Amino acid sequence: MTAAKDSNIALLTEEDAAAELARLAAEIAHHDKLYHQKDAPEVSDADYDALRRHNDAIEAKFPELIREDSPNKRVGAAPAEGFTQVRHSRPMLSLQNAFADEDVFEFFARIRRFLGLDAEAEIAVMGEPKIDGIAAALRYEDGVFVQGATRGDGVTGEDITRNLKTLDEIPERLSGEAPAVVEVRGEVYMTREGFFEMNRKREAEGAAVFANPRNAAAGSLRQLDPKITAARPLHFFAYAAGELSAPVADSHAGFLKRLDGWGFHTNPLARLCKSPEEVLALYREILEARPELPYDIDGVVYKLDRHDWQDRMGMVSRAPRWAIAHKFPAEQAQTVLHRISIQVGRTGALTPVAELEPITVGGVVVSRATLHNEDEIARKDVREGDTVIIQRAGDVIPQVVRAIEEKRPAGSEPFVFPTECPICGSLALRDEGEVVRRCTGGLICRAQAVERIKHFVSRNAFDIEGFGRKHVEAFWADKLIESPADIFRLRDHAEALESREGWGEQSAINLLESIEARRSISLDRFIYALGIRQVGEATARLLARQYGELAAWRAAMTAAAEERAGNREEAKKPELVGEAFAELCNIDSVGFSVADAITDFFAEAHNQTILDDLDAELTVVPVEAPASTSPVTGKTVVFTGTLERMTRNEAKARAESLGAKVAGSISKKTDYLVAGPGAGSKLTKATELGVEVLSEDDWLALISN
């Protein structure tokens, strides 16, 4: 937290603070989902940590404004679909962070104050490298490995047992004596050497490469096919206990010895320290050794050694009081920014990129770095020709930190952000309230068309095996594909495929078979594959559930687009626009902004043409009805107020699992309003419209039938 931000917080009014906490909760939740569920972070660890510290500072000044969805009340993100869910017997907590030596001294002082220890009492703390991988929990019963799970949201994770069984460093059976139930927690990771070798192979095959070893490990572990996981160079370090049916040690050091005895790998750099000075010495040793380690680390974790003291200290919100992660500073280097280029993404977003004199940062050669958006360029006053500081914060995304003004060339001019698309020449507009400028050319813009096709064939969309980014670019350049539907007409060009350099009869057959296997696709994946702005996997599933089949969805969206076209200046009250638009906005988690993005897509004639083309080539499978009916199947339900026997998210998930549609607001199509204490305007409107109102107990009684 900078001094400037601290002073800004001091000036916040209560109203401003509440608005800022709402913004931070949404932004941090977005990044949590990208990191924990998608394995695709879009900000650096340092930027993420800055958001968390800003949120913490506001909550400290305004404790009465702490939100139910505060980042400090959750861990990670909800499990992704595709895996069976596992509820952790003990929550898999996150850790509070330390960034300076003073934070470490305060950690020791806090332990001393909490436990009432005198100034002379020794506090032993285990220091361990913080591995940059993906956390996993392994359950053993009678010494046999029976279940493995990801962290998920800290309470519920994904069952990845079959994948974990492919790792040589995870024993199938514990060596020596062990309690009836043992849960071992640790980190699945990939060495840098294994990561580079895997990326080389993927690039040669035309497949997308991973950004870093952490993403590669996470993506490899969360495969539905364990054969893919088995082919990836994954490793495991054990470092903590979950559920234990009987104690196995009275200290963390003792537990690490038991882990070694059971056949696990523990980190050899772990060391027991007995003062803040000793842990800081260990921190600096590990920081200095970091470039030479075969795996990535982003800090050192300190854990109070005595288990009885750990139990006494307990936890606060999402983290234990007895442990802390001391993060490494972002690695930086100095180089020259030769030019600023503009990339155009599949949604038309213009993103500035710094083209750099190649420089090694954190063991990786960096020649390009993100400049985020035009506001960032202006704020940092970064210019072509500048000498700049580059950092790879958290070893994720290289970014330009600042320009060194005293080294700026004479006659340098501020960068002028383009108002036309550099690819197709269409107007590039920036909507009010947005930081991104977008090309208005749509699919007539080559960059957007190519990027949308890449998205169309990606893993969570059509998932066409062997159809990598390089294939899309090459086929587009040779005019073999110009729209998504052309992919399914490639069978008409079989001879042309076979004759391509590096291809042959078998490789062409393999690709065409992969394409044919995807001619039938579920409605939710089809919607997601279209690449509509703001429509991710979760929103695509909501739309598919709401409208059921492709024809119904298209008809409703076309009607909503026609209604919106004549009411662009209306206030954000969907019911003033039209019935179809209001129904779209009313879907839980959709809202006005997402509805606008969808109707903008349907308002473009060429997008309707693409949908017609795809409809002729594909079988889009309607959403299946629930296997068994329930009293709420097909009913529209709204939840409001405070639920006391379950969380709001649990209630929504349970309703959807029983075939209900969960909406965000009351309309004449609402069947039930489930109202807890604190219900306000929704209860009033439900009464006015004659919607049946249920208490939480009424709702539970209804669904129990």
pLDDT in tens, 192-244: 899 889 988 888 888 777 877 888 898 888 888 888 899 999 999 999 999 99
CB of 158 within 8 A of CB of 80? yes
Do the two domains 3-73 and 97-327 of this chain adopt the same fold?
no
Indicate if 685 belongs to the active site: no
Does 559 score more than 70 pLDDT? Answer: yes
What is the predicted pLDDT for the residue at 4?
Answer: 38
Residue pointed to by tokens 């569920």 = 37
**44: confidence class by pLDDT, cuts 50, 70, 90:** low
Residue 124 has pLDDT above 70, yes or no: yes
Question: CA 563, CA 490: separation in Å to the nearest integer?
Answer: 38
Q: Which CATH class is domain 442-518?
A: mainly alpha
Summarised one tens digit per residue, pLDDT across range 458-496 is 888 898 888 888 889 889 888 899 889 999 999 999 888
Q: Which two tokens stand for residue 550?
A: 């492709």
Fold of the domain spanning 97-327: D-amino Acid Aminotransferase; Chain A, domain 1 (3.30.470)
Point out the least confidently predicted range of 34-38, 126-130, 370-374: 34-38
Structure tokens at 434: 């947005």
pLDDT at 529 over 90: yes
Contact 397, 43 (CB under 8 A): yes
Q: Give me the mean pLDDT over the 145-171 stretch.
A: 91
Which pLDDT band holds residue 38 (cuts at 50, 70, 90)? low
Best mean pLDDT range from 308-317, 384-393, 405-414, 675-684: 405-414
Assess whether pLDDT exceeds 60 at residue 570.
no
CA dist., res. 70 & res. 592, Å (int): 23
What ranges do the domains of the chain cover?
3-73, 97-327, 331-440, 442-518, 524-621, 636-704
What's the CATH number of domain 331-440, 1.10.3260.10, 2.40.50.140, 3.30.300.30, 3.30.1330.50? 2.40.50.140
pLDDT of residue 22: 82
pLDDT over 80 at 3, yes or no: no
Q: Tell me the average pLDDT across 6-14.
A: 64
Other beta carbons within 10 angstroms of residue 583's beta carbon come to 22
- β-bridge mates for residue 339, sequence order: 355
**Per-residue confidence (pLDDT) for residue 81, from 0 to 100:** 52
Instruction: Using pLDDT thresholds of 50, 70 and 90, give the confidence band for residue 10.
Output: low
Pairing of β 350-361 and β 331-344: antiparallel
Beta strands in 102-258 (DSSP E): 125-131, 134-141, 144-150, 156-158, 181-190, 234-244
Per-residue b or e along 602-623, where b marks 16 or more CB atoms closer than 10 Å to that residue's CB: bbeeebbebbebbeeebebbeb
Report the CATH fold assignment for 3-73.
Helix Hairpins (1.10.287)
DSSP 36: I
Are 416 and 340 spatial neighbours (Cβ–Cβ below 8 Å)? Answer: no
pTM: 0.49
- Which residues are bridge partners to 364 per DSSP? 361
pLDDT at 431 over 70: yes
CATH 1.10.150.20 fits 524-621, yes or no: yes
pLDDT of residue 703: 86
Between CA 278 and CA 637 the distance in angstroms is: 57
E strand map for 202-318: 234-244, 271-273, 297-304, 315-316
Quick check: helix, strand or coil at residue 228?
helix
Instruction: Name the nearest CA neighbour of 36 among 120, 133, 103, 106.
Output: 133
**pLDDT for the residue numbered 434:** 78
The listed CATH number (3.30.1490.20, 3.40.50.10190, 1.10.10.10, 2.40.50.100) that belongs to domain 636-704:
3.40.50.10190
User: Which one of the listed residues 33, 38, 130, 454 is annotated catalytic?
Assistant: 130
pLDDT band at 395 (very low <50, low <70, confident <90, very high): very low
What pLDDT score was predicted for residue 39?
A: 53
